[in-house]
A and B are shown apart, each in its own frame.
Chain A
Amino acid sequence: MRPSRRELVKWLSAGGISVSLSHLGLAKEAPFAAHETLPGRGNFNPATKGAGRVDGVAKVTGAKLYASDFRANDLPGWPQATSHAILVRANDATHVYTGLDLARLSGALKPSVVITAADLDRIGTQVPEFYAGDLFCPVGKSPLYLGQPVALLVFEKFDAFDQARLVLRDGTFVKFGEETGPVIAPDYGSFRFTRVAGSGPEKPDIYSPIQAGWVSPKKVQNAALPVWSPLAKEMPPDYAKAAKHGEQIRAELAAENASLLVLDREFETQSVDPMFLEPECGLAWYNKGGNLELVLGVQSPYEAAESIAHLLAKARGPYKPAHINAQFAHVGGGFGGRDHTPFILYVALAAICFPGKPVRLAHDRYQQFQGGIKRHPIKMRSRIGIDRASGTIKAFAADHVLDGGGLANFSANVAVVAATGAIGIYDIPKVDVTTVALHSRGVTAGSMRGYGTLQTMTALEVLIDEAASELKLDPIEFRRRNALKQNGRTMTGNPYIVSVRTPEILDKLEKHPIWQQRAKFKQGASDRLVGTGVACVTKDYGSGADCSLGRVELTADGKIAIFCDHVEMGNGIGTALANRVASHLGTIADEVSVARVDSYDALGLVSSGDPYTMDQKTQDAAARNPRWVPAISSATSASIGAHVGTHSSAEAARVIFRFGLWPAALELWRIPKTDARARQWASAHWQNGQLVMPGLEPLALPALAATAHARGFVTGAVAHSFSRWAWSRAGFPLFGEQYRAEIDALAIRRGNGKFERITRTSVKFPPTDNNRIGTAYTSMCGTLVRVEIERATGALRIAKAYSVFECGTALVPEVVMGQAHGGFAMGVGYALLETLPPFEGGPGNGEWNLGRYLVARGSDLPLRDLEIEMLKPLTPDEEPKGMAEVVMIPIVPALINAIDDATGHRFRALPVTPSLLKGVLA
C-alpha cells in the first residue's frame, strides 16, 4: 500500500477530450546524416569503446532539442508569431493578497490577457487531485505558500513581454493587505514503519509491514504533528498494533542497560533546488479547430497529458479543447524536479485564454527558484542501540519531520522512501521509524535525486561513524559486522531480490590507499587539518509501479529503429536502448526515438485503478481483459532508465530474433524444423554483426533481415511491461507455440505488414501485496574522502576521493561513469554549498539566482583525484541496476565524517560552510 501518486484519469480520453502524445523531432536537422551520429554503427556494443551517444551530434551542434528551443515558427502548420506569458507569483504568504498593480503595465507594456483565479471559475477548470490547491491565489485570501501563482499575463509581442518582466522583478507588483499569518493546512501523510525480527534469521518476523501492511496514525485536527501513541483515542487498530511494538523498542532503548551503547542524536538537512540548467518551459497553441497543441519538456509525459486533459475536461464551451496533442522534447536536466510539475498546467491555461495565438511560458532563473520543485528539508531524531560486547546493532528508532512546502506533490512518497531507507545497509532486528510530511508556506518540495534517502542515510552514516568511535571499533569493520547479507530482511520485512554486494564494497573501501594511509596524512601540515571519512549506502531503484513501452522495427536491409516512451534527460537512455537491443539483433540501431509516446496503438492498452493501492481481487478481475495493464506509462525517474526504460524494447527485440531472424537463419542454413538444432537458438550468438552458430556459416544481419521480410517472419514488435518489484509475465500464441516473456502486451509485424496485436492467453501480474514492500531493487555505493581544512579560514579542499559502486550490467559504461561523477559533484554541493532559507528570505521571494545560490564548480571538486570504480556484474547476464541516485549519497556523510576526523567536531546540520568550519576552529 503506497500512497497514491496520481488520481485515476485515463490518458486516452478525459471528459470527452481526445488526447494524443508524440515525440518532438528536431526542428532543423543537423547537417549530418543521422546514422553517422549513432555510436559506432557496424560495431557490436561500440559505446563500450567510447564511440559516443546517439544524441551526441545534436548536442554539440546546437540543434533544436529542448522545449525551450522551440518557437511557433519552428513547428509545421503553426502560425509564425509567438506570444509570451509571465507567471506572476506571490512573494508573501502571511498577508491577504489584494491584487496586482496593473497600472504599472500601461501603454505598450499592457498585457493582452490577464488570467486570475476569477477566470478559472469562468472557464470551469478542475485541478487534478495531485496538484490540489488553488492554481491561483484568489483576491482576499492569503497565499497558500510563497511562490503561489496569482496571475498569468500574456503579451502578444515579445518586446512588451521583455520589458514588462523587468518591471515586475522588483517584487512590488503583487499587493498585499492585512496580516493573517501563514495558512494552516493538514499534513500530507504520516506513517510508521516497525519491524521486530524473529529469534533468528531463518525465523519469521514477529511483526513487520510486509505482514501487517503499512500503517498511519489517526488524523488529529488542530495538532501540528501526529499523535504517535498507540493509546490515543480511536487510533486505528492496525496502527495501534505497530505502535505498541514500536514503543516497546523505544522503551528498550531508553532503559538503563550497561551492555548497550545508546546514542540519541538529531540531524537536520536543508532545502535545495535541483538547479537543472534549462528552466522550465512550454509552448502551446489553441487553434481554431479546437485543438490544443503543446510542446513540453518533462520527465512524466503521460502524466502531463493526463493532468491537462483533466484540467480542461469540464471547461465551458470555448475553453474546452476537442483534442490535445502534446509533443515532448529532450529535457535540460531533471533530477526529479520535472516529474509531476504543475508548470505544465499554466502553459495550457495561457494558450486556452489566448486562442489562435501560440503562447510560450518560460521561467527565468529567478522564477525557477521561486516556483520550481525543491528537495525536502528533514528534521531527524535517531536512537541507536548497540551491544557493546559484539558490536552489533540491536535496535533503531527514528522520527522524521519533512517540510513539504505549499503543495502535496510527492511529499508523502518521499517521506515513505526516506523512512524505509533510514537503516541503510544494515541488518537491524528491531526498527521503529515514524515520519510525517508537513504542509508549510515554503516553496513546494517533491521528487529529487535521492528521494529522501539522501537525508536519512546521511544522518544514519554520521551516527554510525560516531557509534564506531564510541565503541573504539574501526568504522569499516563496524559496518561489516552489521551489514545486511543477501536474503536478509529489510525494514519492511522483505529481502532484496537483487544482489547485495555490501561486503565486497566494504572490502574495497578498507583496502584503498585513502583508508590505509589515513593516519599518515592526518598528521598533515601545521596550517591545515586533514581528515578521512567513509560512508556506505544503498538506494532503491524503481517506484513499485513502473512500466515501459518499446517498439523495435527491422527493415529488409537490416536497419533497426527503436521507439521508447522514456525521456532523455541526459541519462543516455537512447544509447542504452541501442546497446540493449543490439544484444538481441546484433548491431546498433540506425534510429532511436525517446520520449516517444505515440507508437504503441497496436497494443490497444487500457488501464484502470491505482497500481499502488489496488487490491488483488480488483487486479484479478481487471486482468481478465487481455488489453488491461495496471499502468500504461510511468515517469522517467527513480533511476529506472536502465532497468525499466529499456526493458520493453529489449523484449520486443527478443521476439524479432526468436520469430524473425532465427527462422530466417534456419532457412539460410537449410536446417529443417524437425532438426534438433532448430530449437537451439540460445546457442547462437552475435559476433561483429554476424549470427554465429558452431559448425555453421556466420550470417550477416542484412541477409537475415532480407529473408525474414521475404518469408513474412517477424520484423517488428511492440511490447509493454510492468514491474511491481517483479515483472509481469504473460503467454502469447505465436507460430504454434506459447511464447512466455516478462511482458504483458505484445504486437508483431510480419514482413512489411501492419502491426497486429497478439492476444495474451495468460498473464501473471505481480501480486498487489508487493505494494507492502519498501523496496526490492537496490544498488550499493561506498565512498572514501580525504579533506584538508585551512585552520585560518575554514576553507575545505577535497584532496582525494574514491567511490565504488555496483549496477549489474552497465548498458553504457561511459554514461554510468559520467552519472557517478555528476552524483559525486551534486553530493559535494549538498554537503558543503547549497542551501535555501525555508520561508521569508527564501526562494519564494523571487530574488534568488545563481551567485547567491552556490552549486559545485570544477574548482570545488578533486577532478584529477577522484577515483570511481564500477564493480563488474556478478554474472554476464546480470540485469542492469539503477545507479544514478545511489552514487550521490555516500559522499555527503563521508565528508561530514572526514570533517569530524579532521576537526573533532561532528556537524549535525547541512551544509557545512567555511564560515561554520572557521567557527569550530576558533
Chain B
Amino acid sequence: MTTLSLTINGQKHGPVEVRDDLSMNDFLREMLGMTGTKFGCGAAQCLSCAIIVDEPDGTSYTSPTCIAPAVNFDGKSIRTVEGHARDGQLSALQKAFIDHFAFQCGYCTAGFLNEGQVLLERLARKPVPREALEQTISDALDGHLCRCTGYIKYHEAVRDVILADSNRYLIATK
C-alpha cells in the first residue's frame, strides 16, 4: 500500500492508502466515482481513459489511466472531463464538440476533449503556422479511437476553435 495525494480538477485529494497495483482508472472510477474518465481497452490503445497531467512548469500532457498505477500520480495535478467547464460555463472546445456534432455514442469524448485541450494550450504557448495546422491536429488526435464518427467532426471542432482565435494559436503570417 502507498499513500497517495494528488490534485484533481483543482481540488486536493488524499492522503489515501491505495494498493500499489491499483490502476489510475480504477482509482478514479471505483474509489472516487469519477466515471467521466472511461475504460475502453486496458491496454492504452484506445485512449478513452486519457486524462490531463499538469506539470509545475505550466506544460501539460495526456496520460492513459488504464495501465498506469494510481501511485504514479502521487503529488501530481490532473484534470478530467468533469473539470473542463467552469462556473457552469462550457469550455470553448466543449461547445465546439456540441456544435459540430463531433461525437455520437460519446464514450470516446472525454479522451478527445482532454487531448484537444492539451493541444490548444500547447499552441497557445507555441503557435504553429496555418499550413502546419492540419498535420498538428492529426498528430495530436491520432492515438484516440472512435468507432462511431469517422473522426472528421472531431477534427473540424478542434480546427474551428483554433481558427476562431488564430492570433492566439497560430503564427501570424505577414
Contact = CB atoms under 8 A, between A and B. Distances in A.
Nearest to A571: B104
Contacts of B37: 62
A825 B105 contact: no
Contacts of B81: 60-62
Interface in A123-182: 158-159, 162-163, 166
B90 A818 contact: no
A55 to B, nearest CB: 7
Give the interface size class of chain A: 35 or more
Interface in A791-847: 812, 814-815, 817-826
Interface in B45-67: 45-46, 48
A696 interface: no
A207 interface: no
A431 interface: no
A333 B148 contact: yes
Of A63, A70, A812, A823, most buried by chain B (CB within 10 Å of CB) is A63
A516 B90 CA distance: 46
Interface string B30-51: 1001111111111101101000
B107 A332 contact: yes
A369 to B, nearest CB: 10
A849 B101 CA distance: 29
Nearest to B88: A31
Interface in B133-174: 134, 138, 141-153, 155
B149 A818 contact: yes
Interface string A71-100: 101100000000000000000000000000
A277 interface: yes
A50 B99 contact: yes
A850 B46 contact: yes
A167 to B, nearest CB: 11
A821 B101 contact: no
A61 B46 contact: no
B56 to A, nearest CB: 25
Contacts of A68: 35, 38-39
Interface in A830-880: 849-851, 855, 857-859, 861, 863-864, 866
B108 A50 contact: no
Nearest to A859: B142
A814 to B, nearest CB: 4
B77 interface: no
Contacts of A62: 34-37, 80-82, 110
A276 B105 CA distance: 9
B150 A824 contact: yes
Nearest to A64: B35
B78 interface: no
Interface string B2-39: 00000000000000000101100010001001111111
A69 B99 CA distance: 25
Contacts of A851: 41, 43, 45
B49 to A, nearest CB: 10
Interface in A318-336: 330-335
B122 interface: no
Interface string A564-580: 00000111100000000
A276 B84 CA distance: 25
A162 B21 CA distance: 9
A278 B37 CA distance: 12
B85 A31 contact: yes
B43 A849 contact: yes
Q: Which of B85, B98, B143 has the most C-beta atoms of chain A within 10 angstroms of its own C-beta?
A: B98
Contact of B147 (A57, A64, A275, A820): A275
A365 interface: yes
A366 interface: yes
A56 interface: yes
A365 B40 contact: yes
A749 interface: no
B107 A66 contact: yes
Contacts of A274: 147
A673 B33 CA distance: 60
Nearest to B107: A332
A385 to B, nearest CB: 38
Contacts of B109: 59-60
Given A60-B94, A332-B38, A277 B141 contact: no
A743 B18 CA distance: 57
Contacts of B148: 333, 570, 818-819, 822
A50 B80 CA distance: 26
B39 A859 contact: no
A704 B85 CA distance: 37
Contact of B151 (A51, A569, A825): A825
Contacts of B147: 274-277, 333, 335, 822, 826, 855
A364 interface: yes
B151 A855 contact: no
A826 B147 CA distance: 7
Given A56-B98, A855-B147, A163 B21 contact: yes
A636 to B, nearest CB: 12
A243 to B, nearest CB: 42
A531 interface: no
A851 B141 CA distance: 17
A159 B105 contact: no
A863 B146 CA distance: 14
Contacts of B21: 162-163, 166
A478 to B, nearest CB: 30
Contact of B106 (A55, A857, A863, A866): A55
A213 interface: no
A380 interface: no
B145 A855 contact: yes
Contacts of B40: 277-279, 365, 850
B116 to A, nearest CB: 11
A775 B31 CA distance: 50
A735 interface: no
A52 interface: yes
B42 A821 contact: no
Given A821-B151, A850-B43, A858-B151, A277 B145 contact: yes
Contact of B105 (A61, A70, A332): A332
B98 A333 contact: no
A60 B97 contact: yes
A53 interface: yes
A65 B107 CA distance: 10
A763 B79 CA distance: 58
A334 B35 CA distance: 20
A863 B138 contact: yes
Contacts of B150: 818, 820-825, 861, 866
Nearest to B31: A158
A31 B46 CA distance: 28
Most buried by A among B22, B39, B81: B39
A817 B30 CA distance: 36
Contact of B104 (A58, A65, A572): A572
B4 to A, nearest CB: 15
A814 B46 contact: no
A825 B88 CA distance: 35
Contacts of B39: 68, 279, 364
B100 interface: yes
Contacts of B90: 32, 57, 60-61
A704 to B, nearest CB: 30
Interface string A871-895: 0000000000000000000000000
A216 B157 CA distance: 52
The listed residue with most B CB atoms (<10 A of its CB), out of A74, A158, A815, A857, is A857
B158 to A, nearest CB: 11
Given A65-B106, A278-B107, 7 more contacts: A59-B103, A62-B37, A277-B108, A277-B145, A277-B146, A278-B38, A825-B149
Top 3 A-B residue pairs of the complex, sorted by shortest distance between their CB atoms: A62-B36, A821-B150, A570-B105
10 contacts: A32-B88, A56-B98, A60-B113, A62-B36, A62-B82, A63-B36, A277-B40, A277-B46, A570-B106, A857-B145
